[in-house]
Amino acid sequence: MSMTEKSRATIFPFGSRRSDKGIIPLSRQVSGRLRRSTMVLLRWMAIAGQTAALLLVAFGLGYQLPLLTCFMIIGLSALVNIAVTVVLPLDRRVEDTEAIAQLGFDLVQLAVLLWLTGGMNNPFALLLIAPVVTSATTLSRPVLMLLGLIAAAASFAMVYSFQPLPWSESGFQLPFMFRLGSWFALIIGMVFMSIYTWRSARESRRMSEALAATESVLAHEQKLSALGGMAAAAAHELGTPLATIRLTAKEMSRDVKPGTHMAEDIELLLSQTARCRDILKQLGQRGDQGDIFHDNLSFDVLLEEASEPYDEIDSRVTIDIALKGEGNPPTMHRRAELIYGLRNLIENAVSFATSEVVLTGSWDEAHIELTIEDDGPGFDAAVRDRLGEPYISGRAERRKAGGLGLGLFISKTLLERTGAQVRFDNKSGGGAVVTMQWPKEAILGTAT
């Protein structure tokens, strides 16, 4: 394996190869995703909403409420917000402990207001869901579960104990079974919304980080390609002064008597300049310096270049290349995404193949197609429809080994950037099949 493949495997493992620290799946939620400024803003919005609701009910509808006590509770929330704003930097992300403290305070503050204004008889009791759903969006599962327990306990207590709403002279109370049913509805709604929000946010984060990994892989490949271009440019620039040195040495050799020490030194200088010229010639022929000849390669050369690093990984597995189409193989544009994506898929096939991997390339007037087939166990039927998504296992063996499927996602994403449609399937007799199809106008290189 070349240094390029080794560095790729170290930075972004594929299959069962991993870095020393391993890959941490994004399903393991991390803390510190909620900004303190967001919590402060949400609390100010809650304060404004609570104040407006009390004023409307008291002065607009004419109900007698314990306004002084209620406004004291709201004022306490405002003082907490002011203290957080003054003491702590708002542009930081909160840790789990602070998130529990702040959102827990919001739950308790809202529960006290509800207790003063009817408890579970108050239709605004559904607002107890808000802090819990907020934690489900950005915080860890322990925080979510603890805040959910606080909300459930506070609301259950208000089923039995509360200050009655002054809707009549004797006070208005709903039947106990209705209040208990409202509590169950609140808990069910809170659980459902929290799970839905948590899973949606987790999938969004997983996709974002997987795409970031893809961007990093592509940037890494482009840097490696740029090194070849720099080498070719250096070879071109050094060629002129080297030719001058060689010419000067030849002229000096004419003025020096043969057999002298000076003649030997000049002969050595000429031999070394010839060696440098050969080295620079090799550097200039690396194949990625960006000219029209090296920016394009035929379909068969592409398959040979993509499979070459893995042709001898396992002596038991052979890689066969078959071409089908009229005329010469089409000329394709060399792209880092194309080379890397194909190499990853070929490596995956070699890793699971029993004895053979077959690359079949075909083309017609409109499309270019490539299939990668192996004679291994094939893709796991349980997850085959989800292959190409990040952080899932693509084969039964890989799932047992804790594989995350990130390599398949990266390969699929990079190949789709070149215009390919990628499909994963199993052969009827056993083995995996990956099919890629490009429209010709998306992948063809410049005619030479």
CA distance 177 to 259: 117
At 219 the pLDDT is: 66
> Which residues, given as ranges, of the chain have pLDDT below 50?
1-31, 286-293, 393-404, 446-448
At 306 the pLDDT is: 85
CA distance 214 to 409: 8
Instruction: Count the neighbouring beta carbons within 10 Å of the beta carbon of residue 268.
Output: 11
Instruction: Count the neighbouring beta carbons within 10 Å of the beta carbon of residue 403.
Output: 22
CA distance 390 to 214: 10
Q: Which helix or strand (DSSP H or E) is residue 434 part of?
A: strand 432-439
CA distance 377 to 17: 19
Q: Which helix or strand (DSSP H or E) is residue 438 part of?
A: strand 432-439
The superfamily in CATH containing domain 296-443 is Histidine kinase-like ATPase, C-terminal domain (3.30.565.10)
CA distance 60 to 70: 17
CA distance 235 to 266: 23
Neighbouring C-alpha atoms within 13 Å toward the C-beta of 322: 9
CA distance 213 to 241: 43
b (16+ CB within 10 A) / e for 289-325 = beeeebbbbebeebbeebbebbeeeeeebebeeeeee
Classify strands 318-324 and 356-363 as parallel, antiparallel or unpaired. Answer: parallel
Give domain limits for the chain: 36-174, 214-283, 296-443
CA distance 138 to 144: 9
At 376 the pLDDT is: 87
Token representation of residue 418: 């070149």
pLDDT tens, residue by residue, 253-294: 877 878 788 888 888 888 888 888 777 666 655 444 444 445
- At position 278, the amino acid (one-letter code) is D
